[in-house]
């Protein structure tokens, strides 16, 4: 099934734009609990109040081969038990030609994710191997949520910030299965990107850290149907004492502004 | 030992600026030969005519968990048998805060590479976790070798192409252990980057595909001592009928212009 359809279905079913980041930092896991076991618990508690899960590859790679086995087990568990919930592999890849093809195959064939995050900076020939998977959503990183993201991403290109010029060029490619990543800390940038891509699927991360900004980012990010975007929260949900309640609370907070 | 010293030693010992890309594409391996076994043979044949090895993570990730075990075995084999040859993990990572820290730990603590390729586009806070490993070389990707690399990397920022403006800003950070990546297909860009970073270590990939361009890229890339750069070739060496001869031929071709 095409990603956009799968996302639409789950947003309707769970009435939620919350994506939960499965980022099981080894330093924060209870003793003797594997990353997979930790994730499984979070998934069982939250699956009916989310629209997607997003494991960030770094947390598994940082745990070595065993970590990557836990990532695979997590994805397999989701596909076997909650196949209606899309899985975004947040891998932030970007490479050329044959190598990009290998990364696309790792994300989509091997891990079996429904979407993957990719850097646009190498140009179209580096992204096409991902786009060749027509049912998958390849999410390009335009504006990241970190404090220093503006150093390069906001450089002035003929009066337009770099990230926005990149977006305009990507738009001109007219590709159906490209998603748009914007950090939840940047609602003005979000609004500008939503203007360029009115009907695209967006992913935003970092929401929940500063609750005051939820209204601004939700209003800037939703499409004209009040959906079309996934708001990822990781630590604020998975390390909460009550992850189920935390996910629902964020869901309800976001829904207030849709 | 600091990367620059390790590189200087091996360049002197082997009189070579050739880096061999350990990119064991499964489709091209002989039947029944693992990626590790293939690499081991290449390493044994070429270790005395190279200055570095560069496994590209994509080829291992594309082979699943088993591929990553082969990557680890390859690095371990190098460290145990040829500890004088630096290992560059070409992973092209880039992420923020804690996540960048995990990627740095995967490259440097877990795999044990001496250097890693990283995207600059997220800004300094995304790179610092890599730079914290003082003896390692974190190689930033400024200008990639693919045909479409100019679409974004050459966008005009106040009269300066984006990749060069990024380089000027990186230079202003004044960090000791940053390396510079430039595709071997772009000798003019190489010359401009060498001007900004006269004493930095460079990595260039894609040499050997078009032999005619060897002279231009070598002259543009070497530092004032006739070294300070690693020229990576992958397929043209590892899939040659005689990898040992192919590595030596490229070494001698490059040395003509130093």
Residues in A closer than 8 angstroms to B56, CB to CB, are 95, 99
**Closest Cβ opposite residue B157 in set A65, A122, A155:** A155
Q: Kindly state the percentage of chain B with pLDDT values over 70.
A: 98
State the pLDDT at residue B189.
97
Asked if A97 reaches chain B (Cβ–Cβ under 8 Å), the answer is: yes
Contact between chains at A65 and B58 (C-beta distance less than 8 A)? no
Distance from CA of A12 to the nearest CA of B (A): 31
Chosen from A95, A127, A143 to mutate, greatest number of chain B CBs within 10 A: A95
Contacts (Cβ under 8 Å, ≥6 apart) of A175: A131
pLDDT digits (tens, 9 = 90+) for A147-206: 999 999 999 999 999 999 999 999 999 999 999 999 999 999 999 999 999 999 999 998
Smallest CA-to-CA distance from A49 within A237, A227, A241, A179 is with: A237
**A6 a catalytic residue:** no
pLDDT digits (tens, 9 = 90+) for B222-256: 999 999 999 999 999 999 999 999 999 999 999 99
Average pLDDT over residues A32-54: 98
Q: How confident is the model at residue B213 (pLDDT cuts 50, 70, 90)?
A: confident
Residue A44 pLDDT > 90, yes or no? yes
The DSSP code sequence of chain A is --HHHHHHHHHHHHT--EEEEE---GGGSPTT--HHHHHHHHHHHHGGG-SEEEEBHHHHHTTHHHHHHHHHHHHHHHHHH-TTS-BEEEEEE---HHHHHHHHHIIIIIS--SEEEE--TT-HHHHHHHHTSTTSEEEEEEE-SSGGGHHHHT-EETTEEHHHHHHHHHHHH--TTEEEEEETT-HHHHHHHHHH-TTS-EEEE-TTTSGGGHHHHHHHH--TTS-SEEEEE-HHHHTSSSHHHHHHHHHHHHHTT-
**Closest Cβ opposite residue A56 in set B25, B94, B99:** B99
The residue written with tokens 């646009």 in the block is A120
Return d(Cα A66, Cα B78) in angstroms, integer: 22
pLDDT digits (tens, 9 = 90+) for B129-161: 999 999 999 999 999 999 999 999 999 999 999
Which residues 1-40 of chain A have a CB within 8 Å of chain B?
23, 25
**Closest Cβ opposite residue B65 in set A69, A100, A120:** A69
The gap between the terminal CA atoms of chain A, to the nearest Å, is 26
Which residues 52-71 of chain B have a CB within 8 Å of chain A?
56, 58-59, 61-62, 64-65, 68-69
How far is C-alpha B100 from the geometric centre of its chain's CA atoms?
19
Q: Which residue among B28, B41, B79, B92 is the active-site one?
A: B92
**Closest Cβ opposite residue B99 in set A58, A96, A151:** A58
Contacts (Cβ under 8 Å, ≥6 apart) of B67: B35, B59, B60, B61
Residue B211 pLDDT > 80, yes or no? no
pLDDT digits (tens, 9 = 90+) for A107-162: 999 999 999 999 999 999 999 999 999 999 999 999 999 999 999 999 999 999 99
Return d(Cα B149, Cα A62) in angstroms, integer: 30
Residues in B closer than 8 angstroms to A58, CB to CB, are 93, 95, 99-100, 102-103, 106
Q: Which domains does chain A have, with CATH numbers?
A: 3-255 (3.20.20.70)
Q: How confident is the model at residue A212 (pLDDT cuts 50, 70, 90)?
A: low
Mean pLDDT of all residues belonging to chain B: 96
Contact between chains at A156 and B157 (C-beta distance less than 8 A)? yes
List residues bridging with B203 in a β-sheet.
B181, B230
What is the model's pTM?
0.97
Residues in B closer than 8 angstroms to A69, CB to CB, are 65
Return d(Cα B71, Cα B56) in angstroms, integer: 9
Contact between chains at A72 and B94 (C-beta distance less than 8 A)? no
Which residues 165-224 of chain A have a CB within 8 Å of chain B?
165-166, 169
């Amino acid at each position: 099934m095409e990603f956009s359809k799968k996302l639409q279905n789950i947003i309707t079913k769970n009435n939620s734009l919350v994506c939960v980041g499965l980022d099981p930092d080894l330093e924060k896991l209870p003793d003797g609990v594997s990353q997979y076991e930790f994730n499984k618990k979070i998934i069982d508690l939250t699956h009916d109040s989310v629209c997607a899960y997003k494991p960030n590859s770094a947390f598994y790679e940082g745990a070595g081969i065993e970590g990557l086995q836990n990532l695979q087990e997590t994805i397999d568990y989701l596909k076997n038990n909650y196949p209606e919930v899309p899985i975004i592999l947040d891998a932030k890849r970007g490479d050329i030609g044959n190598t990009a093809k290998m990364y696309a195959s790792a994300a989509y064939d091997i891990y079996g994710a429904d979407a993957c995050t990719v850097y646009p900076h190498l140009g179209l020939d580096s992204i096409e191997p991902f786009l060749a998977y027509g049912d998958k959503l390849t999410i390009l990183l335009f504006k990241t949520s970190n404090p220093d993201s503006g150093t390069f991403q906001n450089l002035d290109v003929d009066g337009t910030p770099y990230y926005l010029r990149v977006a305009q060029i990507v738009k001109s490619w007219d590709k159906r299965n490209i998603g748009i990543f914007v950090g939840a800390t940047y609602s003005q940038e979000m609004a500008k990107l939503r203007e360029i891509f009115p009907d695209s699927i967006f992913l935003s991360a970092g929401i929940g850290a500063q609750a005051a900004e939820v209204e601004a980012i939700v209003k800037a990010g939703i499409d004209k149907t009040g959906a079309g975007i996934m708001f990822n929260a990781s630590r604020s949900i998975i390390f909460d004492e009550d992850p189920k309640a935390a996910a629902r609370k964020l869901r309800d907070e976001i829904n207030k502004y849709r």
